[in-house]
Amino acid sequence: MQGTIWSLLPFLVVIPLALLTRQVLPGLVVGLLVGAYMLNPTPFGGVDTALQYILKELAVPDNLRLIVFMYGFGAFVGLVRITGGVSGFAHLMEERIHSGRGAFIVTWLSALLTFMAPDFRIITVGPVMKQVFSRLEVPVNKVAFVIDATATPLCAIMPLGTVFIGYTISLLGTVSRHQGIITPPYNLFLLSIPFNFFSLAMLAFALFYSFRKTDKDQVKEPTSQPIESTAKIRALCAAKLAYVETSMELAIHLPLNKRQRNIKGESDDYPDPVELVAQKVEPNSLNLIVPLTLLLSFTLFYTWWDGHFHSTNFLGALIQANAAKAMLEALLSTLMISFIWYAFQKQPIQRTLFGFLQGGNEMMAVNVLLVFVWAVSAISTDLGFVSYTEQTVGRLVPAAFIAPAFFVFGCLLSYVIGSTFGTWGILLPLGFSLATTEHAALPLIAGAVFASGTFGGFVSPLSDNTVAMATVMKIPVMDYAKLKLRYGLLVAAVCTVLYGIVGWFYR
């Protein structure tokens, strides 16, 4: 279809609604219906057209493969939690920490085992390190920030074994298909990693922040106190810490209606069923280490195997492979062997199945979001969105300014809606459309979009990660969000300048 200004309407509906409701899904649903009624303006035709686009995108093999992968990955996380793998890993870390510096080293090293998803890292490492750092008298805000900074920013640039990689490859594949881009999606993702400036810069800042020594962070042990007096002082400090934590927990900002319901005795904290069952299981760190090792090993093997027919060297095989297909095969192989591993330990089959199903069900919200992102992108393409941006919008935005403009706008959008995946789904089609028009570097634009979504997922007070970390650490959500915003804006400002410089020279 020949594009007109009306082809922008679905996206012009999605973005304001996402900002207004601070949720991505309502905007995508309305945007899809608007586009469907533009193509089929009859009373029931729009609904039928919207359903056709949803079913059409679900029938795409790569899309269906990703949905299975996302469900399976959630099931994998549920399994390692419900079999005592997470709690065992927590005990393993706690036994080996004796100083503040050592605690931060362990915190960073723990990312090697908990990088699969930000929430997984937070609920795994957060409670353990909170207890350890409290004993070492390190400020809880600093601990929370470092764990958080090694969650979303790290997951966003990991090239395998994460829930993020499946989502990004799917988005890149869908957008590339609509734009006629022939570069394999996984290759585009690998090329975009060096341009995800926010993730890289935030990790560097967090590393500096972890090991810097200030008067506020450094604790001086008394040297002239008798042993008995020192013990009393430590007991008083522990009592004071417990009082402060209780006060902070009560001070977490809740909407007024929630406070009223709590006064009436109604609980708003719905327990995690997997966590409730996992608390009754004997901790065993091998139940995390073994499945994770299998997952990474199988991912490398299947990726190489799929690509070795097209290249004679290992690196070339990884680049030429169908990474989405290889990751799903690796995940399914890991799940099958993991069930055998747990059965060998005489883990009850009812418990492992419960963890499998409950973990997979937690990913269904992401799958629903994905389906609507695909459908909106497809219907916008059929409305002539690509051709219109090529003719008009692309001429107004110089190629050098596309990356910094998308990064800044994406940061604002992701901060307001608090969704990394939502921001990527909204902005990547727009960014690639402008990039192909202005001949801007696709890896740079992809890196800028991924960086902007990472900013909101890390900084926004509406982000699940921010709320989860504040809850785990028992600190006020908004106070913690303000701390992250202060440092996040500093890093984002540097990244904006970098995108402007790189965008000017790299085209």
Q: What is the DSSP string of 106-137?
A: HHHHTHHHH-S-HHHHHHHHHHHHHHHHHHTT
pLDDT confidence bin for 271, thresholds 50/70/90: low
Q: Would you say residue 340 has pLDDT above 90?
A: yes
Rounded-to-integer distance, Cα 445 and Cα 435, Å: 7
Number of domains the chain contains: 1
φ/ψ bin of 439: left (φ > 0), alpha (ψ from -120 to 50), beta (otherwise):
left
- Average pLDDT rounded to a whole number, residues 419-431: 83
> pLDDT-based confidence at 487, cuts 50/70/90?
very high
In a domain, 97, yes or no: yes
Structure token pair of residue 482: 């303000």
Residue 75's domain spans which residues?
A: 63-216+271-286+323-505
Residue with tokens 């966003």: 156
pLDDT in tens, 214-227: 544 433 333 333 33
For residues 443 and 462, what is the distance between their CA atoms, to the nearest angstrom?
A: 28
Mean pLDDT calculated for residue range 90-108: 77
Domain for residue 258, yes or no?
no
Q: Which two tokens stand for residue 471?
A: 């809850």
Q: Where residue 447 falls among pLDDT bands split at 50, 70, 90?
A: very high
| CB distance 469 to 122 below 8 Å | yes
Residue 43 — left, alpha, or beta (φ > 0 → left; ψ -120 to 50 → alpha)? alpha
CB 303 within 8 A of CB 141: no
Least confident of 124-133, 149-158, 372-381: 124-133
Q: Which one, of 41, 23, 45, 326, lies nearest residue 159 by Cα?
A: 326
- At 230 the pLDDT is 36
Do the domain assignments include residue 106? yes
Give the position of tokens 């996380």: 77
279-326 pLDDT per residue, tens: 788 888 888 889 888 988 898 898 888 887 777 777 777 767 777 788
Residue 78 has pLDDT above 80, yes or no: yes
Percent over 70 (pLDDT), the chain = 82
Q: Dihedral, CA atoms, 164, 170, 175, 177, nearest 10 degrees?
A: 160
Give the C-alpha separation, 269 to 401, whole Å: 45
Range 237-248 average pLDDT: 36
- Split at pLDDT 50, 70, 90, the class of 257 is very low
Domain assignment present for residue 501? The answer is: yes
Does any domain span residue 494?
Answer: yes
Query: Are 437 and 389 contacting, i.e. CB atoms less than 8 angstroms apart?
Result: yes
Q: Does the pLDDT value for residue 35 go beyond 80?
A: yes
157 φ, ψ (degrees, to nearest 5): -115, 0
Question: In the predicted model, what is the mean pLDDT of the chain?
Answer: 78
Nearest Cα residue to 369 out of 420, 319, 412, 321: 420
- The answer to whether residue 1 scores a pLDDT higher than 70 is no
Residue 440: inside a domain: yes
Domain-located, residue 119: yes
Residue 17 belongs to a domain: no
Would you say residue 65 has pLDDT above 80?
yes
pLDDT reported for residue 259: 33
